[in-house]
Amino acid sequence: MKLYYATGACSLTPHIVSRESDLNIELIRVDTKSHLTEQGVDFYTINPKGSVPCLQLNDGQLLTEGPIICQYLADQANNSQLMPAAGTLARYRVMEWQNYITSELHKSFSPLFNPNAGAETKVLFAEQLKAKFAWLSSKLENTAYLTGDDFTAADAYLFVVTNWSKFVGLDLSHLSALQAFMQRVAARPAVQMALKAEGLIK
């Protein structure tokens, strides 16, 4: 399988999941500005959506959208910790968090990365994000991860999205439970390998 990714983008989530699952994935970097792969191929000819992550299966079919790719990868590896068994409430809890992160956090960062977004717009979204992260931090005060003691695909997603805060000047340092969560996830060997592979740490 091939995972098309951009350094530090949301595609880092399935990258982490693949390493947590010990799956053999070929990584192909995409320049999100030029939309060229590292081999110089027009990414739109591979994924007409033009977005990462994109997973190319061994038979050539494509899967897009991060949470879905993560579910697929965990299922392929029979990793019921990352993604509990289908039909169980535990799985729906992980999916519930994935959906929340997608709709309430991930998309709210877009204006902060957009150089054409006005100052008032950026302030509005930053304040909304601060409130949402404060609520999230309160949920992590008495638990190691979002759904309990086990690290799941939703935790990988939260780690990646929260990490963007330092690139847009969003100060979350006062949220102690969230910061403890970030340190726990960052210390995981698979996460370390993914971060190093993308050149985010040495």
CA distance 169 to 161: 14
Percent of the chain with pLDDT over 90: 99
CA distance 114 to 91: 34
Q: Are 43 and 36 in contact (CB under 8 A)?
A: yes
- Tell me what pLDDT residue 57 has: 97
Whether 2-81+190-197 and 89-188 share one fold: the answer is no
CA distance 96 to 141: 19
- Tell me what pLDDT residue 108 has: 96
**Quick check: 202 pLDDT over 90?**
no
Between the two ends of the chain, the Cα-to-Cα distance in Å is: 26
Answering whether pTM is above 0.75, one says: yes
Distance of CA 114 to the CA centre of its chain: 19
Phi, psi values for residue 28, rounded to 5°: -130, 115
* CATH number of the domain located at residue range(s) 89-188 in this protein: 1.20.1050.10
Domain limits of the chain? 2-81+190-197, 89-188
CA distance 136 to 104: 11
CA distance 90 to 202: 35
- Secondary-structure class of domain 2-81+190-197 per CATH: alpha beta
Region 143-151: mean pLDDT is 97
Chain segment 92-107, per-residue pLDDT in tens: 999 999 999 999 999 9
Residues in CB range of 172: below 8 A, 6 or more apart:
130, 133, 137, 162, 165, 178, 179
